[in-house]
Chain A
Amino acid sequence: MIKLIRFLTAKKSFVLFILLEITSIILIINTHNYAQTKTHSLQTTISGIINSKLSVIENHFKLKEYNKQLLKQNAELLNKWVQPETQKSPLLKEQYGFIPAFVISNQYQFSHNTILINKGRIDGIQPDMGIIAPNGIAGIVQKTSKHFAKALSILNTVTKINVALKNSNYTGFMRWEGQDPNIFSVIDMPVNAQIKVGDTIVTSGVSNIFPKNIPIGKIIDFNTVSGRKSYNIKIQSFTDMSNLGPVYIIKNIYKKEADSLMQDK
């Protein structure tokens, strides 16, 4: 015991270094853990409070741009309202609800980037709800605290979104390779699909998280995967992920029902 105390005193900086590293790594693991943990919920709350104060200053300088984005989105929504595809089916019309929110912290420099928004459990936000920005999809809610929610950004190497070629039923998966924040890959798109550079990629609506046909980006390059009958596509995102402000959280009213049917074997 005395030997141990002597060792710890002699190597106190090394022992402290190891202790601080372990503490930090535990905190990182808690952040990556998808289950709701108390420490992480506390961190989301603290981060939410600080960032909501900081975002007031930042947003003041970006108001003009946000207004422009919102006007564009309003125009598109009006167009859809005048000629709604979804009116053909009353069920589809009422399937999705939209909760307006604001991004108060947005990461884009890491490989597992997250978004913090100013709405939480109290506003009806739950994990696995989709988030869309005025120009396209932005992320999926991962965890919630009372007043804030943390989401996996589409700039996250673990996020996979089911996507489709616009005006077709050919689907694939979109993922981020961790490099340029505007460039994404689409894999597993069958070679039967007739694609060309400039074509639009939209959400497929298969996952019950995002409605069908929300724009994501346009094709900038593609090739066929040798040995597999699918394309490897590079797309440029419509959403500037480094400049997120107003967003909508998508509430799929029938998600639970659809998910339970899918899990039922």
Chain B
Amino acid sequence: MNYNTKHIVLITVFYLLQIIWFNHILLFGKYMPVVFLLPVLWLPLEKNEVTNLLLAFIYGISIDLVSNTGGVFAATSVTIVYLRKIYFFMVKNPMQDIEKFQINKIGFVQRAPYYLTFIFLGQIFVFLFESFHFPLVWHKLPYILVNTLITFIFFTLIDLLFLSTDKQ
């Protein structure tokens, strides 16, 4: 499967998972894992960033259409795609070429902080775009921190089940 087909299939699967299942479950009465972010985080940096931004926007807006949230998920997905590059510039190994980044080329030890950072940021952006009210996001911080850990457990499970690490 080439890049486009593989990621379109992946995005479709996670889209269906989000709208059919994760949009309707509350863990421990109040926590909702934000699994929709995973295919966005798996997009490779090596490819044309314009394609990545457009894919993230279409993916996000499709979730918004079903969830009746205007453009909250679209704005969040696009922001995450853009910020990923800055993240890798900040944490990259000097030997690594940022443009050749692929999620399965780095080990889980490197993927874990990447997931945790963007699950946390993703939720901040969702609440910020949804309310345009920063104090409310601050108020939601304990929820966001616990939900980050819950989502991270889901990400780890999916990662270990479906993502094989290629050694370069």
Contact = CB atoms under 8 A, between A and B. Distances in A.
B70 A32 contact: yes
A241 B61 CA distance: 25
Interface stretch (A42-50, A79-87, A130-138): A42-50
Contacts of B32: 108-109
B79 interface: yes
A43 B131 CA distance: 19
Contacts, number: 120
Contacts of A58: 24
For the complex, would chain B's binding face be called helix, strand, loop or mixed by DSSP majority? helix
B26 A25 contact: no
Contacts of A50: 19, 65-66
A21 interface: yes
Contact of B67 (A16, A21, A107, A112): A107
B140 A182 contact: no
A32 to B, nearest CB: 7
Contact of B74 (A27, A105, A108): A27
A111 B78 contact: no
Interface string A43-82: 1101100110010011000000000000000000000000
Interface string B115-158: 00000000000110111110010011001000000000000000
A13 B48 CA distance: 9
Contacts of A32: 70
Contacts of B20: 54, 57
Nearest to A51: B66
Contact of A25 (B29, B71, B136, B143): B71
Contacts of A111: 127, 130-131, 133, 136, 140
Interface residues of A, number: 44
Contacts of B167: none
Interface string A150-181: 10000001000000000000000000011111
Interface of B: 19-20, 24, 26, 29-30, 32, 49-50, 53-54, 57, 60-61, 64-72, 74-75, 78-79, 82, 126-127, 129-133, 136, 139-140, 143
5 contacts: A20-B74, A27-B74, A28-B71, A31-B68, A57-B20
Interface of A: 12-13, 16-17, 20-21, 23-32, 40, 43-44, 46-47, 50-51, 54, 57-58, 105, 107-112, 114, 116, 150, 157, 177-182, 242
